[in-house]
């Protein structure tokens, strides 16, 4: 098995990995708390939340399999070489387990809070049906010869595809509404920090090993980080430059003022 050549890089890898874990894990809370304070999920795109829950589920299965399964690890080393390190760290497993739970909370909030006329689109439902069906087919293909690394790699590819898809509905929704009201910028900032840290972690491992096979061996993790960074930049531009928060607040205040009952004039006493 491969081992770290540089102790400082090893320590830095672990530190940066847990920074990514903290940022990504905490990033789920601002949206949940915003929904709770507003008692509303208006402005939070339902397609994003549902697709994100599926994505996190597949990411968890991938990390769990590659980190704990000796069979999958053996198949990984057979494919990439016995000296190559497993590109999944314990913080990846911890994050993905936490992510499933926290991704389910906003979906539950959709059922109990004001949601206006928003609903999960037929396109999102169709995407999930196609992807779950594809995974089922791949499972039966892998089963006879126990090609489990191939199967979890397919899961990894699927979750990368969902990462690309899931952000689009929210970005489009913000554009059409010309507002980020209901979408937490706290999530965006923390997601951005976690994605940068994750990418840095993979680079550190590759520098230490003098090989970029660890990147190609877990290309899904790298692509997820890069795609997340791209969309986080888009969301930050929407929130701070295109549709500033002060405009959102003024619009909200106006709506609240308009919703207040008009005081009726009191009859004068004779």
Residues 172, 173, 175, 181, CA torsion sign: negative
Question: What is the pTM assigned to this prediction?
Answer: 0.78
Determine what percent of the chain is predicted with pLDDT higher than 70: 86
pLDDT of 246 reads 56
Q: What is the DSSP letter of 113?
A: S
The pLDDT value given to residue 24: 85
Which position has the higher pLDDT, 189 or 3?
A: 189
CA 26 vs CA 29, 49, 143, 184, 252: distances in Å: 6, 16, 37, 12, 26
pLDDT at 141: 95
pLDDT tens column, 20-69: 889 988 999 999 999 999 999 999 999 999 999 999 999 899 999 999 99
Q: Is the pLDDT of residue 87 over 80?
A: no
The pLDDT > 90 percentage for the chain reads 58
The confidence score (pLDDT) of residue 185 equals 92
Q: Which range in 10-19, 88-97, 187-196, 220-229 is most confidently predicted, on average pLDDT?
A: 187-196
pLDDT digit string, tens, across residues 56-82: 999 899 999 999 999 998 998 888 876
Q: What is the mean pLDDT of the chain?
A: 85
Would you say 235 and 180 are in contact if contact means Cβ atoms under 8 Å apart? yes
Close Cβ partners of 141 (under 8 Å, ≥ 6 residues apart): 147
- Report CA-CA distances (Å) from 116 to 72, 141, 225: 46, 43, 33
Alpha helices in the chain (DSSP H): 7-26, 28-38, 46-68, 70-80, 90-112, 122-142, 148-177, 185-209, 213-217, 219-237, 245-259
Q: For residue 92, is pLDDT > 90? A: no
pLDDT at position 120: 94
DSSP state of 212: S
Ordered DSSP codes for 135-198: HHHHHHHHTTTT-HHHHHHHHHHHHHHHHHHHHHHHHHHHHHHT--TTS-HHHHHHHHHHHHHH
Please, is 265 exposed, middle or buried when counting C-beta atoms within 10 Å of its C-beta (0-12, 13-18, 19+)? exposed
| Residue 270: predicted pLDDT | 40
pLDDT score for 180: 93
Contact predicate 188/232, CB 8 Å: yes
- 163-214: per-residue pLDDT in tens? 889 999 999 999 999 999 999 999 999 999 999 998 888 888 888 877 777 6
Extents of the domains making up the chain: 7-259
Supply the pLDDT for residue 200.
Answer: 86
Statement: residue 130 has pLDDT above 60: yes
Tell me how far apart the alpha carbons of residues 48 and 161 are, in angstroms, rounded to a whole number: 13
């Amino acid at each position: 098995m491969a081992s770290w050549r540089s102790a400082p890089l090893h320590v830095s890898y672990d530190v940066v990995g847990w920074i990514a874990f903290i940022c990504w894990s905490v990033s789920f809370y601002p949206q949940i708390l915003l929904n709770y304070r507003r008692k509303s999920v208006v402005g939070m795109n339902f397609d994003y939340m549902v697709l994100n829950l599926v994505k996190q589920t597949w990411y968890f299965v991938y990390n769990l399999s590659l980190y704990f399964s000796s069979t999958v690890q053996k198949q990984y080393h057979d494919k990439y070489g016995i000296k190559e390190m497993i590109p999944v760290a314990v913080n990846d497993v911890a994050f993905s387990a936490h992510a499933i739970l926290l991704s389910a909370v906003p979906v539950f909030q959709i059922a109990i809070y004001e949601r206006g006329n928003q609903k999960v689109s037929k396109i999102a439902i169709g995407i999930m049906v196609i992807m779950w069906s594809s995974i089922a087919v791949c499972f039966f293909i892998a089963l006879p010869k126990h090609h489990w690394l191939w199967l979890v790699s397919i899961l990894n590819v699927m979750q990368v595809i969902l990462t690309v898809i899931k952000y689009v509905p929210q970005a489009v929704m913000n554009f059409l509404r010309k507002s980020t009201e209901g979408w937490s910028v706290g999530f965006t900032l923390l997601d951005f920090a976690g994605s940068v840290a994750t990418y840095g972690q993979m680079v550190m491992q590759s520098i230490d090993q003098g090989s970029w096979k660890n990147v190609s061996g877990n290309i899904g993790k790298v692509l997820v980080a890069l795609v997340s960074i791209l969309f986080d930049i888009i969301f930050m531009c929407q929130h701070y430059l295109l549709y500033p928060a002060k405009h959102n607040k003024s619009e909200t205040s106006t709506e609240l003022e308009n919703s207040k009952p008009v005081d009726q004039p009191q009859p004068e006493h004779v």
